A and B are shown apart, each in its own frame.
Chain A
Amino acid sequence: KAGVTQTPRYLIKTRGQQVTLSCSPISGHRSVSWYQQTPGQGLQFLFEYFSETQRNKGNFPGRFSGRQFSNSRSEMNVSTLELGDSALYLCASSLAAGLLNEQFFGPGTRLTVL
Chain B
Amino acid sequence: GNSVTQMEGPVTLSEEAFLTINCTYTATGYPSLFWYVQYPGEGLQLLLKATKADDKGSNKGFEATYRKETTSFHLEKGSVQVSDSAVYFCALSGETDSWGKLQFGAGTQVVVTP
Contact = CB atoms under 8 A, between A and B. Distances in A.
Interface of A: 4, 31, 33, 35, 42-45, 48, 50, 55-56, 58, 90, 92, 94, 97-108
B100 A31 contact: yes
B45 to A, nearest CB: 7
Contact of A33 (B46, B100, B103): B100
B99 A101 contact: yes
Interface of B: 32, 36, 41-46, 49, 51, 89, 91, 93, 96-107
A50 to B, nearest CB: 7
A79 B22 CA distance: 38
Contact of A94 (B51, B96, B100, B105): B100
Contacts of B105: 42
A45 B102 contact: yes
B93 A99 contact: yes
Interface of A is mostly: strand
A113 to B, nearest CB: 20
A48 B102 CA distance: 10
Contacts of B97: 55-56
Q: Which of A43, A94, A97 has the most CB of B within 10 A?
A: A43
A48 B101 CA distance: 7
A58 B101 contact: yes
Nearest to B91: A43
Contacts of B99: 97-99, 101
Contacts of A50: 100
Nearest to A108: B43
Contacts of A45: 101-103
A58 B100 CA distance: 11
B32 A42 contact: no
A48 to B, nearest CB: 4
B41 A55 contact: no
Contacts of A102: 46, 49
Given A99-B51, A99-B93, A101-B99, A90 B106 contact: no
Given A42-B107, A43-B89, A103 B102 contact: yes
